[in-house]
Structure 1
Amino acid sequence: MKKASHILIMALLLLGSRPLLAQKKALSLQEALEMARQGNKTLQIQILEEKKATEQTRESRSRLLPDISAGAAYSYYFDRQNIFLPGYFAGTNKAVQDVAVGGKNAFNGFVSLYQPVLDPVAYRLTKASKINEKIQIEKTEDLKSQVALGVSTRYLDILMMKRQLSLLQQSHERNIRALKDSRSLLAQGRGLKSDTLRSFIAVENLRSSVSYLKNNIEVSGMELKRLIGLEEPQELELTDELESGIQTNRNEFLSVSEALEIAETNRNDLNVQELALELQQQKLSATKAELLPKLSIIGQYQVQAQADNLEFNEYVWPRTSFLGLQLSVPLYSGGRSKSRISQAKIIAQQELIRLNDLKDEIRTTLANIISKWKEASSQLEIQVTTVQSAELNHQMTENRFKNGLGSRLELTDAELALTQAKINYLQALYNLRVLHTELQHTLGLLEL
């Protein structure tokens, strides 16, 4: 009985000590984009920058609101304060007589008011802050598009490599069987050593390619996890197919002029640059406003007392208050304002040049993508025909080999040709999907 219980305990321990198999997380492209919207750290930083711009707008707007402050002070004088009076006021013959006045304990409290009435600089800087807030909002949307491009491209990369890996593994298994046949024929004296060596080289090359692809898939999976903000140590199982939506994508050809019109309406980075130009123009206006007068309302309410003791019930608290207008007119600043205006004009000109350059860059990028897209569609049609021909050739060669009319070398060549044709077809599919994604991004239509 004890022996049976010991065996049961050992079996449970062995089962419990087995490493748990890594769970796979099924992930479609749409799910990956949704996860990136919430988990991408670069996007989180930009969202915080957007909130920061909102706070900067509030700070700038506060310059037009009342500034109310209060203060209190206590001072102890070891020697009484001195004032200087004409001698006849103090009852002496001196022209100027110093007189010690006041108490040794001095208390002072006040409330002051400053309300801008006319402040062109603050008003225009507030408008500039609002423009900067819009810029950050557009930057957030532009970053979302860039993250969507990165996630989509990486997702398609992994799909492509996994399909290639499957083809190469199948080819590797077939070539291993071919190598065994070649060695068997060589041992029987019915084959050539060169055929065996060629089969061995093909097997090793395929084994190297399989290992290389596995490593690349692992690295790309890590990068995809980083982009979507997935920190769990799970293996990703991509559920989409490389062929998804391929027929629809092929029918979306646009002319460059049509594409440019769409891009100018939807591109967030173009909106950012236009707002940057507007921002610099507003800053130029604010710099010019430094030459204008400022008008403010000022006021203060003050109480104070002095005595040699701290018997507060005997203190007298005289009050002083006023309310008035303060006008400030800039007259001369050593040419500083003029220099700042010139600098602001130069920056505005730079932003205009950047805007025009960005439009030219978008036009060139669109022309390049549309041209490649049309070529990729043609290549896909060619590769479909090539795969069909390679399959037919492989079938015919295999039949010849089975009937003793062809050699193992011919069959190996036909098999390699078929594998390469299928890989070329996958590459054409991949190119079309990636170019369509890049086109959507360039048009400003790719979003998280």
Structure 2
Amino acid sequence: MNYWPTEDKRRTIALLVAFLLPFLAFSQTTPTPAENGTLENASLDDIVKYALKNQPSIQQSLIDERITENTIKNKLADWYPQINFNYNFQHNFIVQTSIIGGNPVKLGVNNLSSTQFTVSQALFNRDVLLANRTKNDVRLQASQITTNNKTDLAVSVSKAFYDVLATMQQISVTREDIVRLERSLKDAQNQYKAGIVDKIDFKRATIALNNTKAAKKSNEEILTAKLEYLKSLMGYPKEQALKLQYDSLQMEREIFLDTLQNAEYGSRIEYQLLNTQKKLLDYNLQYQKWSYLPTVSANGAYNLNFQNNRFVDLYGKNFPNSFMALTLSLPIYQGGKRKTNINTAEWQIKRVDLDIQRLKMNIDAEYANALSAYKANLIELLAQKDNMDLAKEVYDIIQLQYKSGIKTYLEVITSEADLRLARINYYSSLYQVLASKVDVQKALGQINF
């Protein structure tokens, strides 16, 4: 007999399925290629993110940050009380003898043992004081080095990405030309067989087709090398395929930038890094001046002393002692070393000031060069776009005229070559503009990670 109503059973099953469905879906979810360490249909953003995560040089920079953090902790540990324990056992084969009142007297016993607990606390120590004052700037310097490496890597990866796309577009253009030339070759063959034209057109079509196929093969080999270079920048597995995803129309919309901007030194990570270095050198100058001050520390000890002629009774009785002391150490004369160190620290600051001045000039020159290259490439791109449109129009007209018997096949081949060259030049100019735009953004300090 069934004591469970049907309606309640259905409601319970529905609730159970609703509860378990997310877990079942999660358990059946397959990891994305990125989770497996590879990319599929990767955009520029995907590639840059992958490179920043997997490039060994970036991983080394992150490790350097951890090493720096541990070094700081190691230096700051000297501010804490230092507690130590020592143990000693000594057996005297011949106990020392002294003459006291004309009589020889043995001073000591056969067996000695001692344990010692010591505590010391630094009250003023210029090494520890320097570590405490510079800890934040040292961390910042390590972080800025990582940022600088990431910025350089992102720029290199972006340029390599555009370089690969330019070659891919050349292959795509030649692939379309091969289809068109094969169709033209077939037309030439048919016209030759029909006796309309001689075999010259047929041979010219064959030559053009062979040259285009050779160009395609050459570009494919070049593409393989450029992809390997991009993989090396990314830290991408060599044996894994890398498929790029891009939108030419979107890229055409992204070619423009504001050319009226001025270079801001403070936004450049190199400038920030030099400023941090100068702050650390200022601390070093202060550290050298502290060398005229004493080192002060408090320390104390508690000793347990055991003495007995018989080893088995050695630890039967203890003769303890303890003390506390204040130690002040002041170097009086060191042959002029401290003055020399101070002068060196001052010259180091002056030198980094010149580094900052030189960097400013380099940034101005870098920005001017990058901006002029961007403008020149943009002008070239606009001209190549017009040339491509005109070449397409000329080719279509000559193709119709050739079929009507007005133009020769040589003119068809020439127009095809002009169209292919115009398209290749256009796409090459497009990616050159995008690459030069990256240089401008880097010069402006707009690429930071």
- TM-score normalised by the shorter chain: which range applies? 0.7 to 0.9
- Asked if the contact 1:125–1:286 (Cα under 8 Å) also holds between the matched residues in 2, the reply is no
Are positions 1:254 and 2:265 aligned together?
no
- Which AA in structure 2 matches 1:303? L
- Which AA in structure 1 matches 2:60? I
Identity of aligned residues (%): 21
- Asked if the contact 1:125–1:283 (Cα under 8 Å) also holds between the matched residues in 2, the reply is no
Q: CA deviation at 1:52?
A: 0.8
Distance 1:156 1:220 in 2: 10
Q: CA deviation at 1:320?
A: 1.3
Distance 1:134 1:383 in 2: 47
- Which AA in structure 2 matches 1:260? A
Partner of 2:282: 281
- Asked if the contact 1:287–1:341 (Cα under 8 Å) also holds between the matched residues in 2, the reply is yes
Q: CA deviation at 1:309?
A: 1.4
Distance 1:409 1:246 in 2: 34
- Asked if the contact 2:308–2:314 (Cα under 8 Å) also holds between the matched residues in 1, the reply is no
Partner of 1:50: 65
- Which AA in structure 1 matches 2:225? V
- Which AA in structure 1 matches 2:93? F
Partner of 1:139: 145
Distance 2:357 2:247 in 1: 40
Distance 1:71 1:247 in 2: 75
SS in 1 for 2:40: strand
Distance 1:423 1:183 in 2: 28
Distance 1:212 1:447 in 2: 37
Are positions 1:161 and 2:161 aligned together?
no
Measured at CA, do residues 24 and 131 of structure 1 come closer, stay the same or move farther in structure 2, by a change above 3 Å?
closer
Distance 1:378 1:447 in 2: 28
Q: CA deviation at 1:234?
A: 2.9
Q: CA deviation at 1:98?
A: 6.8
- Asked if the contact 2:130–2:283 (Cα under 8 Å) also holds between the matched residues in 1, the reply is yes
> Residues 173-208 of structure 1, C-alpha deviation per residue, up to 9 Å, x if partnerless?
444555676688889795476x67765554444333
Distance 1:359 1:313 in 2: 76
Are positions 1:272 and 2:268 aligned together?
no
Measured at CA, do residues 79 and 280 of structure 1 come closer, stay the same or move farther in structure 2, by a change above 3 Å?
same
Measured at CA, do residues 189 and 78 of structure 1 come closer, stay the same or move farther in structure 2, by a change above 3 Å?
farther
Measured at CA, do residues 396 and 46 of structure 1 come closer, stay the same or move farther in structure 2, by a change above 3 Å?
same
Instruction: Show structure 1 runs of 5+ residues with no match.
Output: 1-22
Partner of 2:331: 330
Distance 1:199 1:286 in 2: 81
Partner of 1:110: 116
Question: Counterparts in 2 of 1:24-423, with a 5 A limit?
Answer: 25-82=40-97, 84=98, 87=99, 90-92=100-102, 99-176=105-182, 178=184, 190-191=197-198, 201-231=207-237, 233-250=239-256, 252-255=257-260, 258-261=261-264, 264-312=265-313, 315-423=316-424
Measured at CA, do residues 376 and 91 of structure 1 come closer, stay the same or move farther in structure 2, by a change above 3 Å?
same
> Residues 147-167 of structure 1, C-alpha deviation per residue, up to 9 Å, x if partnerless?
211222222222211111110
Distance 1:103 1:76 in 2: 9
Q: Which moved more, 1:107-116 or 1:61-70?
A: 61-70
Distance 1:172 1:24 in 2: 31
Q: CA deviation at 1:426?
A: 0.7
Measured at CA, do residues 116 and 415 of structure 1 come closer, stay the same or move farther in structure 2, by a change above 3 Å?
same
Measured at CA, do residues 356 and 396 of structure 1 come closer, stay the same or move farther in structure 2, by a change above 3 Å?
same
- Asked if the contact 1:303–1:320 (Cα under 8 Å) also holds between the matched residues in 2, the reply is yes
Distance 2:365 2:282 in 1: 28
CA RMSD after TM alignment: 2.6
Matched positions, count = 411
Distance 1:40 1:304 in 2: 60
> Residues 322-343 of structure 1, C-alpha deviation per residue, up to 9 Å, x if partnerless?
1121111111112222222222
- Asked if the contact 1:182–1:191 (Cα under 8 Å) also holds between the matched residues in 2, the reply is no
- Asked if the contact 2:307–2:314 (Cα under 8 Å) also holds between the matched residues in 1, the reply is no
Distance 1:342 1:196 in 2: 84
- Which AA in structure 2 matches 1:48? I
- Asked if the contact 2:228–2:238 (Cα under 8 Å) also holds between the matched residues in 1, the reply is no
Q: CA deviation at 1:430?
A: 0.7
Measured at CA, do residues 341 and 304 of structure 1 come closer, stay the same or move farther in structure 2, by a change above 3 Å?
same
Measured at CA, do residues 146 and 427 of structure 1 come closer, stay the same or move farther in structure 2, by a change above 3 Å?
same
- Asked if the contact 1:160–1:242 (Cα under 8 Å) also holds between the matched residues in 2, the reply is no
Distance 2:90 2:365 in 1: 74
> Residues 69-103 of structure 1, C-alpha deviation per residue, up to 9 Å, x if partnerless?
11111112211135x5xx5xx121xxxx8743222
SS in 2 for 1:259: coil
Distance 2:142 2:367 in 1: 25
SS in 1 for 2:242: strand
Q: Give TM-score, length-normalised by structure 2.
A: 0.84
> Residues 246-303 of structure 1, C-alpha deviation per residue, up to 9 Å, x if partnerless?
33441x2233xx4312xx2322222111111111221122122112112111211111
- Asked if the contact 1:394–1:411 (Cα under 8 Å) also holds between the matched residues in 2, the reply is yes
Measured at CA, do residues 325 and 24 of structure 1 come closer, stay the same or move farther in structure 2, by a change above 3 Å?
closer
Distance 1:49 1:290 in 2: 30
- Asked if the contact 2:188–2:202 (Cα under 8 Å) also holds between the matched residues in 1, the reply is yes
